[in-house]
Structure 1
Amino acid sequence: MNQPTLVLVHGALTDASVWRRVSRRLQEAGHPVIAPSLPMRDFGADVAYLKQFLRTLTGPLVVAAHSYAGCVISAPDALTPEVRSLVFVTAFQPEAGETAAALNGKFPGSGLVPDNLVVRAYPGGSEVYLREDKFGEVYAGDADERDRKVLAAAQKPFDPRTLEGSFAGDASWHALPSWAVVSTKDNSIPTAAQRWMAERAGSKLVEVASSHAVPLVHPDVVAETVVEAAS
């Protein structure tokens, strides 16, 4: 059987570089890795973008998603038949009709509240950032100071429309085996929400005492989980 390509999809507020330490570990172990960049202007457009991107790849695929990207890979229209398994890394796992915004408010504890956000206009809409002085507390509390500052300065913002998007039809995790890395010190997506979604999806659960930035802070745990999904 061909070795699967490991596709790592970033979420809101960080770009594909959030996977850099995971990517290095996977590549050093001999796995082919690719990390696309989502536009994050509209949920439906992100779904279409990912599917078109996956169509450019050959052979079996394992798709891992961080944060908001879990919504995208849960949409059945985002994936191709070559996808064999899914990994949700501190990520949303919605069912049909559910939105990221609603799921994030289902349990208390998220620091992604209006007082902690900055909204800026761009041609065609508005985009959301975390306040730089709140980035560490909300997103990357256990990262070192240099990483926190770099992440806060280089945020990839999202249009609020992305968090209100949903899909029809059964979520992809009904048909594919899935793993879920749950952060127990997450101040972005509440830990209770992550556990609830993972248990509902029947995902194999891996818990780690980390912030939302778990791909950067605990890359070994994430890489090992992706490899297990690829096996």
Structure 2
Amino acid sequence: MPTPTVVLVHGAFTDASSYQPVTKGLLDSGIPVVAVAVPNRSLIGDAALVRAFVETIAGSVLLVGHSYGGAVITEAGTAPNVVALLYLAGYALAEGESIAQLQGRFPDSDLPDALIQTPFPATEHSAGGMDVSVDPSEFASVLAADVDPGVASVLAVSQRPVAAAAFAEPATTAAWRARPTWAVLCTADRGILPQVQRFGYERAGAAIREVDSSNLVMLSQPAVVVDVIREVVGALG
């Protein structure tokens, strides 16, 4: 089987550049990779855009989702050329379940108290609403405690907000039911608690690797993420 293209889907509060060390590691390994830009406007809309992009790729795809991006790949991963899923500190939702509902099964993490909501106006093309970002003064401690402080400080002031409505939007499908699934569980994550990750991963029947990492594992331990991706690619081959 030809090596699948790895499609990296970022989460809330970051963009595709958050995968930079992992992207480079995969390129250096000769593994085809693309890090896509996600609008972070709505779960279903974001997933539709990711799926449409995935379907333009010739050949098979390993779809990787970080944090909110995990919810996105749960929905988008039913694209016919997706052969496997990999969650990184992500939300593995079930059909009819929203991020808020999954989170609601467990105690709050440090994230809710660190969030800032900012209104964005309606336009002729979209309704207005509330954008959600992380207080820059809290960003490192909640999401990036083990990331280089200089990198974390830049991330804190260059966030890609997510529309608040995305957290309440239920998934319409769960791609993990029909795709082999792997997951990285970040045991030091203060944004998405480890028990939230574990619940979703075990329900999905994922092969789980536990890592002592903050939420931004692709920046704190990129070599581990690249190693897991190589493992998945090897298993698919």
- Tell me which interval the TM-score lies in, with the shorter structure as reference length: over 0.9
Q: TM-score, normalised by structure 2?
A: 0.92
CA distance in 1, matches of 2:107, 2:148: 26
Count of matched residue pairs = 228
Describe the superposition over 1:84-140 as per-residue Cα deviations: whole angstroms up to 9, x where unpaired.
111000000010111112222322251121x31111122322211100111011110
Structure-to-structure mapping, 1:34-73, within 5 angstroms? 34-73=34-73
Contact 2:63 2:77 in 1 (8 A): no
Structure 1 residue ranges, 4+ long, deviating more than 3 angstroms after superposition: none
Give 1:78 shift.
Answer: 4.9
CA distance in 1: counterparts of 2:42 and 2:189, whole angstroms? 25
1:31-180 to structure 2, matched below 5 A, reads: 31-75=31-75, 78-113=77-112, 115-123=113-121, 124-169=128-173, 171-180=174-183
Alignment check: 8 A CA contact 2:77 2:85 kept: no
Deviation of 1:80 (Å): 1.5
Measure the CA separation in 1 of the matches of 2:80 and 2:231. Answer: 20
SS in 2 for 1:35: strand
Q: What is the CA distance between 1:2 and its match in structure 2?
A: 2.1
Equivalent residue in structure 2 for 1:197, among 191, 195, 200: 200
CA distance in 1, matches of 2:77, 2:63: 11
- 1:42 and 1:109 map into 2 onto residues whose CA distance is 22
One-letter identity of the residue aligned with 1:121: P
CA root-mean-square deviation: 1.2
Q: How many Å separate the matches in 2 of 1:64 and 1:210?
A: 17
Q: Output one character per residue of 1:176-228: Cα deviation in whole Å (capped at 9) or x when no partner.
A: 11111000000011001111111111100100001001010000111111121
Match of 2:10?
Answer: 10
Letter in 1 for 2:230: V
Amino acid at match of 1:22: V
Identity %: 38
- Whether 1:224 and 2:233 are equivalent positions in the alignment is no
Residue identity in the other structure for 1:129: S
Task: Report if aligned partners of 1:46, 1:72 keep a CA contact under 8 Å in 2.
Answer: yes
Superposition deviation, residue 12 in structure 1: 0.4
